[in-house]
Every structure is written in structure tokens, then in C-alpha cells.
Structure 1
Amino acid sequence: MPWLDRLWQLKRVDDAPVWSLSCLYVRKAYRRQGVTSHLIAAALEAARRADAPALEAYPFDADVSPSASGSGYASTFARAGFRVVARRVPGRPIMRYDFKQNADYGV
């Protein structure tokens, strides 16, 4: 997503070809029910089926930000197997799911 490179906090970490999961919106009535986890799993499955090498996300740390503002929380992505690859500002990691590294993870 070209617009991500215009934000210094979220610009490209390296030259790895990644797909980006920039936003997840869950209606208020459905929050805190595991919907975000299901959306992440569906995004991982779609990316895997399309042979994407990696999927990157830009969530917030719940300890630093009380609102995930449509991006989700880092802890939810970590449970799905994403790892922090960069942190340019406190509370806003860049996380990546590498399909080769996570071949045995089950997605």
C-alpha cells in the first residue's frame, strides 16, 4: 500500500514483499467477542492461499493506547503468530506473519 510509506511510523521495514493488513473494523456491538481474531485468521488464510510471502499489520499496544482505532491490538496479532519487526513509536509496532517461518503454525 503506497500510502503506508508516506507515514514515517509505518513505512517499509525492509525489501521483503509483504501484503498489508492496515485496518480491521468491528462494530461496537460485536467487540470483545473474538471477531478480530476471526478476521485476522481469515486474512491469513486468504494471503496463504494467494501465496503471499508475508502479511504485515500495524496494530496498537493495549498498554499504551486505550483504543485500537480500527487497527486491532498487538496482543491479538501475537496470538495469531505475528512477530514485531519494527517499533518506531511507543505503542505502535509493525508486526509480520512470515508464512515460511510459520509453516507449522497451522494457518
Structure 2
Amino acid sequence: MDAGPPPGLIAFESGSAVGWCQLTPRAALPALDRMWRLKPVDSAPVWSLTCLYVRKGHRRRGITLALIAEALRTAKRAGAPALEAYPFDAEVSPSASGTGYASTFARAGFKVITRRVPARPIMRHDLESIGP
């Protein structure tokens, strides 16, 4: 078995998995570097939250925000300087998203750091402001 952090977080409700997000150091995801719209913004050793999923019947109940909050704490505990996300901006172009929505990440304190494609911002949360 490989060493290192688990590749994500799972949200449970009454013993059943209801949500998941991929969370890992960006360096562990070389495919991101090959996509021009997601190329690194700088050389900071950020962590990435690349996928989000909440089961039908459990959506619009705060599970996504809870996963994002735990991802912030987990990345902070691992020593990451920031957490990056690559959500879809539904205000620019309505569509379903497996990467989350920019508005949700903005509510969690993420800021847009670049926008190479109008509907797909790269957002980042500085983890210095997160408690232990």
C-alpha cells in the first residue's frame, strides 16, 4: 500500500455515505498540469479539492459546505499553505458540476485567483486564517 494521505473525504449521515470530495496535494495530480485551463498559477505547494459529490436526496442540506470546511481543516493540518478548487461558475453558464459551484466556494471563503475560462475559475483559500 502506498504511503501518504487518503485521496479524499467522505461525509456520513446515520452510518451511510452521503457525500465525497477528492482532496490531495496538487503535486499528486499531474493531470491538472496537462490541462491548460488548470495549469498552476504559481509554485505554492497547494492542496487541491477537485471533485465533489453529494447523493441525491441529500443535496441542498449543507453537506457540500461541511465537506469543504473539513477539507480546509485537513489541508491545514497537513501543512498546506492554501487549498485550491476548480469549480463551475453557474452565474456565467448554467450546468451540472462534479467540481462544485463557485458560489459555494465563495461562501466558504475562497477567492478567485484566475479565470482562464469564464465559467471555470481557479479559486483558493489561504489556510493561515483557519484555526488548528
Structure showing greater relative contact order (alpha-carbon pairs closer than 8 Å, 6 or more residues apart): 1
Q: Which runs of 5+ in 2 are unaligned?
A: 1-28
Identical aligned pairs, as a percentage?
71
Normalising by structure 2, we get a TM-score of 0.73
Match of 1:33? 61
Q: Does 1:59 align with 2:87?
A: yes
User: Of 20, 25, 34, which residue of structure 1 is paired with 2:48?
Assistant: 20
Alpha carbons 1:26, 1:70 under 8 Å: kept: no
Q: How far apart in 1 are the matches of 2:92 and 2:65?
A: 20
The structure whose Rg is larger is 2
Q: Kindly provide the amino acid, as one letter, of the partner of residue 34 in structure 1.
A: G
Q: Does 1:43 align with 2:78?
A: no
Residues 38-75 of structure 1 show CA distances to partners (whole Å, capped at 9, x for unaligned) of 11001011111111111100001121233342111111
4+ residue stretches of structure 1 with deviation over 3 A? none
Higher strand proportion (structure 1 or 2) = 2
Give the number of equivalent residue pairs: 104
Q: How far apart in 2 are the matches of 1:32 and 1:93?
A: 22
Q: How far apart in 1 are the matches of 2:75 and 2:112?
A: 19
